[in-house]
Structure 1
């Protein structure tokens, strides 16, 4: 089976490398960056700078770009992959977007006689490299069946959310509400503890061994303690994703109070110049407000 991956970023690269290792798949990968294409080629994949450079006949394309605008451009733009795909190919779109955007992309795919799987993912760069992503999928039975060899190679769990496109996107938006609020709360707790005179490492040890812990606290505050601002997921991602949360909440007449507050915190950190840093460094907003000193500063 010929497969293409569009977007060889922190999650896309891991997914693509697992597809290369899977039996029975021939894998091409699309990315604008020379370094990403070189890494993919060294692992045995076929690199391309745009969808228009893909070899003809791919039966499945996995899209792991940032948002709906990039996904549409990657598939249906002037240099998009659509003309290079086999008739009836499945488009597995894993970019985070609004439910309305997912439905619009699915309609465009159907008009071009492609199958469409609304398939956001969670698990981060580490999960992608381990082939252990969680997939939140909605789409037709035919789309799910055709996508199965791809999902089997990249995921530890595929949740079937139904047939209607947009259900996967809705689930991911709700998930990002939790993720963003948890990171914001983790940063607030760490900043308060430092301000009040606690040793940051001791604070971390107590929380991660007690009931107040969360996966986000344990993961992201370790980055902060190490002074590691490498963006596995960046502050600006949550400016965008929490914006999707508040957009969905507004459409549903739902008061997403915590998500709105968290979005403002990420927006503040971005405005201070930290948008490209690891999202745990939303704590820089608290640093600016309180004057705390982070361990590696």
Structure 2
């Protein structure tokens, strides 16, 4: 399959490499340049849109707008192309993209992903895909390459974006829940290792709790998924809640906590660094031990 790729950050680069290794022809454009083995770099986004399908992994709504919409790239796309947006974007912008692609005569699929760069490198992302059935069928072979599972979110593309935003919102709630639990348990003589060993082997034995309990246990928050991006995603969740006419109090709490994290100068650290504002920077951190 002739695949185009725009956005070669840590996630996009891993996906492009896996697609090339699987035998697909991959041509790519990246705002900051660069190259990768097996990938043909081209001069512009218009060149990328001469493929059978294009995956974009750009950071947010505004970047997609500036790279693709304002220069009129969609109107210059190869007929029959399917454009797959794998970024975490707002539900409202996804609806706008559906209409713009329809006007340009090309297909659109929302396919945000669950997983970090190490998961992308292994080709084990969870892909949340939604769009017209014929478009999903066409791009399914390449989504299978980059994923452990492709989750069919239906024919309405923005549903996939709502699901991704909701997932990220729930991860931040899990981080805050663990931080608050540490406050209670450490104040009463129980180590983080002991408590996390308990919850990971009883109530909460899932990847989000495993990954972020390890960060909290060790008191180490090296960049993984940046807090600044987490704040962006929580803003998208707040916007979606407002559009639905609903008040989500837990969302408000974690949004405010993440905003405090960024304001405290930790925007480039892993988003689990928000736990330090609840636990306190001077609280004792122990090795992660069995929670790994």
Name the TM-score, length of structure 2 as normaliser. Answer: 0.87
40, 43, 49: which one pairs with 1:46? 40
What CA deviation, in whole Å up to 9, does each residue of 1:105-144 have, x standing for no partner? 1211222222100111112223212212222222112311
Structure 1 segments unaligned to the other structure (5+ residues): none
Q: What does 1:147-166 correspond to in 2, within 5 Å?
A: 147-166=139-158
| Partner in structure 1 of residue 81 of structure 2 | 89
CA distance in 1: counterparts of 2:27 and 2:220, whole angstroms: 32
109, 131, 148: which one pairs with 1:117? 109
| Partner in structure 1 of residue 51 of structure 2 | 58
Secondary structure at the counterpart of residue 58 of structure 1: coil
Q: What does 1:278-297 correspond to in 2, within 5 Å?
A: 278-288=270-280, 291-295=282-286
206, 210, 221: which one pairs with 1:218? 210
Q: What does 1:1-297 correspond to in 2, within 5 Å?
A: 1-23=1-23, 25-33=24-32, 37-38=34-35, 41=36, 43-48=37-42, 51-52=45-46, 54=47, 57-78=50-71, 82=74, 85-226=77-218, 228-288=220-280, 291-295=282-286
CA distance in 1: counterparts of 2:63 and 2:11, whole angstroms: 15
Name the TM-score, length of structure 1 as normaliser. Answer: 0.85
Q: Is the 8 A contact 2:4 2:48 kept in 1?
A: no
Q: Is the 8 A contact 2:182 2:279 kept in 1?
A: no
Structure 2 segments unaligned to the other structure (5+ residues): 288-292
What CA deviation, in whole Å up to 9, does each residue of 1:242-281 have, x standing for no partner? 2222222222222311111111111111110111111111
Counterparts in 2 of 1:192 and 1:276: CA distance versus 1, 3 Å: farther
CA distance in 1: counterparts of 2:120 and 2:284, whole angstroms: 33
Cα distance, 1:227 vs. partner? 5.1
